[in-house]
Amino acid sequence: MKTDETDWKANWICSGLVGGPGSSVPAPLMRRPFDLAGEVKSATLHITALGLYQCSLNGELVGDAVLAPGFTDTRKRVHYQRYEVGQLLKPGANVIGVVLGDGWHCGFLATGPRQTHGDRPELLAQLEIELADGRTEILITDESWQWRAGPIVSNDIFQGESHDARLEVAGWDTPDGPAEGWQAVEVREEKSIAISRSPAPPIRRQEELSGKEIHAEGWMRIYDLSQNFSGRVRIRVKAPRGTHLKIRHAEMLQEDGKLYTENLRGAACMDQYTARGDENGETWEPLFTFHGFRYVEVFGVKDGCTCEVTGVVLNSDMPETGTFSCSNPLLNQLWSNIRWGMKSNFLDVPTDCPQRDERMGWTGDAQVFARTAASLMDVKGFFDKWLMDMRDAQLPSGAIPNVIPNVGNFEFRDDAGPAWADAAVIVPWTMYICYGEKSVLENHYGCMKAYMEYVEGHRLKDHVRSHPDVHEWGGFGDWLAVEKNATTPKDLIGTALHANNADIMAQVASLLGRDDDAGRWKALHKEMVAAFRRRFVTGDGLVMGGTQTAYVLALKFGLLPEDLRRNAIHELVKHIQKNGNHIATGFVGTPYILDVLEEGGRLDMAYTLLEQESFPSWLFPVKNGATTIWERWDGWTPEKGFQDAGMNSFNHYAYGAVGAWMMRSVAGIDLDPSMPGFAHILFRPRPGGSLTHAEASLETPHGSASIRWERKSGKVQTTVRVPEGARATFFPAPEAGMDTRDIGPGEHTFAWQGDG
Ligand code: BGC
């Protein structure tokens, strides 16, 4: 077994603990005592697991990654981590210890049972040691390792973790631990899965939130962490030995002040702790689970016991790169909700939601949000990893499945359909224009091309994609749109999105010097545009379906003849007005609607939608106390209460896709796709709505860019900062009557007359 860095000599090993499809077993402690014949110069540990692991050397934790080795389809690939551990070793007796959890390998996965990828967790580790005298030693996982059951009685990402502190084995991972009670591990057969280094940062603890007790009733306490997030709680309890605590998690409270957990569906999200009974109290945080929540209920706090709760925020450790603020505090809260929605759903995979029995890498959601994600954090490595997962998941036909990693129980259709499967084209392109590195396109080109060929071969009729004659499955449509009496036709969405795919592919192919392909995609693009016009556009510029999304897609992807664009904008605005100045788009139209209005000369309407406070709108949840983005515009309304619990997440980032427009147009930091990676920064502030100022900063690959504009005494004044390594152009608002200006590194200030 060879990987890029290591010649693996280690074997996959496991314990004898096996659960069933519905029942879990304790997490095994695995260990191997070993002697070193002298001082250690250096030591490198390569380690991974099918499942999850936490490794320690002589009782000291190795690294600070959480939920390692992360989420991949373990039938195809697992990532390993590499740690320099020389300082944890010493001459004489040493012990390496590993706790193994079920994780995404053998725990409950999506709506399916346990054990879909394997019956129990397995470990692979190789420790290479160089002694001070030059001798080398290598320690591998093999039959010489031992296991025993540990204090983690059960663990599961959806169900939660149960820890009985009375079963802790003192010193088990040190030379002083018990020599008795261990059994020999099983050595598993060699596997043909890929073992690779992840390009993504690991999941780490990010910050802590202190829990405020808001309710106490008998042995029950409810705590508010003040923020919906992904992670878990650390509890500090003082309680007699054997006290059993049940810790439940929820995003919302019911009217009676108790936890609202119906929307968690099949995920119990309950941790349990049985106390050791330490006189001075004891602290516990689960190891192999996470929850999406704001509220915590602890049951079992008997009279005389105390319990403190701290939220531990977990997400992929991506540097934060973007900031935004403006004069409307509700928009600032919206930005914060977008950020927390992202943090909560970027745990090694871009997931739809972090709470219910789903938490999958839904392609559509990721595609819709990718540009916004890059406006908040450095997501390059994160998406490089996910695109790797996508290549693993692509079907032999070229089709892209619904969720990536393709865990198996969302395989009800092989093709995720328009806007979902198109993540294969849109995400690498977005990463390319945001970070400027061609490698993402080079690495993914084979996948993109095979996918394009799949659509062409299986999903088009007369260049209409999702044509109802071709297949009954037309895609998810404009998912969760709340239009009354109208839906956007699936073949319209399909054709529009595929025209966009062809356009992107033509650019990608020419960038990669594949001129033949470029010609082919260009021709396809022309055909798709023609088909769109033929089938969906009237001579007056009306677009079939008549929905906001129908107009938005036609306009955004340049599918209308020039002379009909004005009409289409007019129709779109009319539609919005008829809805009382409300948005009516779902996942597909939402990311583009404000762009389209702005480009069509209706910045006023874009701001009206952005600042709309009544349902449906971005600010409606904000006004109702949301701290993350809701899955549905009407997840909760005062009139109807909670939406259908079968699908009602309060932490779904998709509608947060508006963040890209806030960065690009409200504040005004944009990029030039022809000089990708912000090599040419476009400062394009578009003051509007109620705003009297806005500002943003973005850590670009070329350095830090920032902007601040302010409306004061009839003037708009803007100050921008261009980083050393970039060039920039300033585009004043059209009403300024000023020319665009090319500017170099440093600070620049511009002013024009404007309403103030
Ligand atoms: C997920 C989505 C996803 C959708 C597809 C849902 O269950 O939560 O966000 O895109 O299914 O229809």
- Cβ of 352 closer than 6 Å to ligand 1, yes or no, is yes
pLDDT tens track for 448-480: 999 999 999 999 999 999 999 998 889 999 999
405 cis-preceded (ω within 30 degrees of 0): yes
Residue whose CA lies nearest to ligand 1 atom number 9? 352
Place of tokens 């393709």: 406
Distance of CA 476 from the midpoint of ligand 1 (Å)? 9
Say if residue 3's pLDDT is above 70: no
Distance of CA 215 from the midpoint of ligand 1 (Å)? 34
Closest atom, ligand 1, to C-alpha of 654: 9
| Contact yes or no for 29/172 (Cβ under 8 A) | yes
Q: How far apart are the first and last CA of the chain?
A: 68
pLDDT band at 587 (very low <50, low <70, confident <90, very high): very high
Q: Bin 269: left if φ > 0, else alpha if -120 < ψ < 50, else beta.
A: left
- Cβ of 317 closer than 6 Å to ligand 1, yes or no, is no
Say if residue 115's pLDDT is above 90: yes
Mean pLDDT across 712-730:
95
According to DSSP, residue 606 is labeled H
> Angle at Cα 572 formed by Cα 571 and Cα 573, nearest 5°?
90
**Which tops the pLDDT comparison, 20 or 753?**
20
pLDDT tens track for 636-679: 999 999 999 999 999 999 999 999 999 999 999 999 999 999 99
pLDDT tens track for 504-513: 999 999 999 9
Closest atom, ligand 1, to C-alpha of 420: 10
Ligand 1 pocket test target in 367, 404, 479 with most atoms within 8 Å of CB = 479
pLDDT of residue 482: 84
Ligand 1 pocket test target in 263, 264, 265, 352 with most atoms within 8 Å of CB = 352
| Contact yes or no for 319/378 (Cβ under 8 A) | yes
Ligand 1 pocket test target in 349, 356, 365 with most atoms within 8 Å of CB = 365
Q: Is the dihedral of CA 616, 621, 622, 628 positive or negative?
A: negative
Distance of CA 390 from the midpoint of ligand 1 (Å)? 17
Say if residue 6's pLDDT is above 80: no
Say if residue 292's pLDDT is above 50: yes
C-alpha 646 chain-centroid distance: 21
What whole-number distance in Å separates Cα of residue 548 and Cα of residue 616?
13
| Contact yes or no for 300/272 (Cβ under 8 A) | no
What whole-number distance in Å separates Cα of residue 96 and Cα of residue 127?
9
pLDDT of residue 672: 98
Share of the chain residues as helix, strand and coil, in percent rounded to the nearest 5: 25, 30, 45
Place of tokens 């762009």: 595
Q: How far is CA 120 from CA 72, 99, 200, 370, 563, in A?
A: 16, 13, 25, 34, 63
CA-based nearest residue to 509, from 522, 496, 498, 499 = 522
pLDDT tens track for 17-71: 999 999 999 999 999 999 999 999 999 999 999 999 999 999 999 999 999 999 9
C-alpha 264 chain-centroid distance: 18
Place of tokens 């709470």: 355
pLDDT band at 120 (very low <50, low <70, confident <90, very high): very high
Count other Cβ atoms within 10 Å, centred on residue 5: 12
The one-letter amino acid at 43: A
Distance of CA 352 from the midpoint of ligand 1 (Å)? 7
- Cβ of 478 closer than 6 Å to ligand 1, yes or no, is no
pLDDT of residue 413: 74
Q: Which residues touch 87 (CB under 8 Å, ≥6 apart)?
A: none
| Contact yes or no for 50/115 (Cβ under 8 A) | no
According to the 3-state scheme, what is the secondary structure of 707-749? EEEEEECCEEEEEEEECCCCEEEECCCHHHCCCCEEECCEEEE
Distance of CA 586 from the midpoint of ligand 1 (Å)? 12
Count other Cβ atoms within 10 Å, centred on residue 444: 24
Q: What are phi and psi of 313, to 5 degrees?
A: -85, 130
pLDDT of residue 409: 63
The SS3 assignment for 575 reads: helix
- Cβ of 362 closer than 6 Å to ligand 1, yes or no, is yes
Q: Which residues touch 413 (CB under 8 Å, ≥6 apart)?
A: 402, 473
What whole-number distance in Å separates Cα of residue 583 and Cα of residue 615?
9
pTM here is 0.97
pLDDT of residue 407: 87
State percent of the chain over pLDDT 90: 95
pLDDT of residue 410: 63
Distance of CA 362 from the midpoint of ligand 1 (Å)? 6
Mean pLDDT taken over the chain: 96
| Contact yes or no for 309/223 (Cβ under 8 A) | yes
Mean pLDDT across 250-263:
96
pLDDT band at 486 (very low <50, low <70, confident <90, very high): confident
pLDDT band at 756 (very low <50, low <70, confident <90, very high): very low
C-alpha 621 chain-centroid distance: 21
Closest atom, ligand 1, to C-alpha of 365: 10
What whole-number distance in Å separates Cα of residue 650 and Cα of residue 626?
8
Mean pLDDT across 208-220:
97
CA atoms within 13 A on the CB side of 674: 2
The one-letter amino acid at 74: T
CA-based nearest residue to 634, from 607, 605, 614, 661 = 614
Q: Is the dihedral of CA 230, 656, 107, 356 positive or negative?
A: positive
pLDDT band at 735 (very low <50, low <70, confident <90, very high): confident
What token pair was written down for 693? 């100022």
**DSSP track, 425-467:** HHHHHHHHHHH--THHHHHHHHHHHHHHHHHHHHTEETTEET-
Mean pLDDT across 677-696:
98
Query: Which helix H or strand E contains 622, and what residues bound it?
Result: helix 619-623
Say if residue 755's pLDDT is above 70: no
Closest atom, ligand 1, to C-alpha of 402: 5
pLDDT of residue 578: 95
| Contact yes or no for 41/130 (Cβ under 8 A) | yes
616 cis-preceded (ω within 30 degrees of 0): yes
Helices assigned H by DSSP within 231-328:
none
Mean pLDDT across 169-178:
97
Say if residue 229's pLDDT is above 80: yes
pLDDT tens track for 348-399: 999 999 999 999 999 999 999 999 999 999 999 999 999 999 999 999 999 9
Distance of CA 660 from the midpoint of ligand 1 (Å)? 21
Closest atom, ligand 1, to C-alpha of 652: 9
| Residues taking part in catalysis | 358, 631
| Contact yes or no for 700/678 (Cβ under 8 A) | yes
Closest atom, ligand 1, to C-alpha of 631: 9
Say if residue 250's pLDDT is above 80: yes
State percent of the chain over pLDDT 70: 98
Q: Which residues touch 28 (CB under 8 Å, ≥6 apart)?
A: 14, 15, 17, 99, 100, 121, 147, 148, 149, 150
Q: Is the dihedral of CA 417, 423, 366, 47 positive or negative?
A: positive
| Contact yes or no for 251/293 (Cβ under 8 A) | yes
CA atoms within 13 A on the CB side of 142: 10
Ligand 1 pocket test target in 263, 344, 362, 367 with most atoms within 8 Å of CB = 362
Mean pLDDT across 745-756:
87
Residue whose CA lies nearest to ligand 1 atom number 4? 362
28 cis-preceded (ω within 30 degrees of 0): no
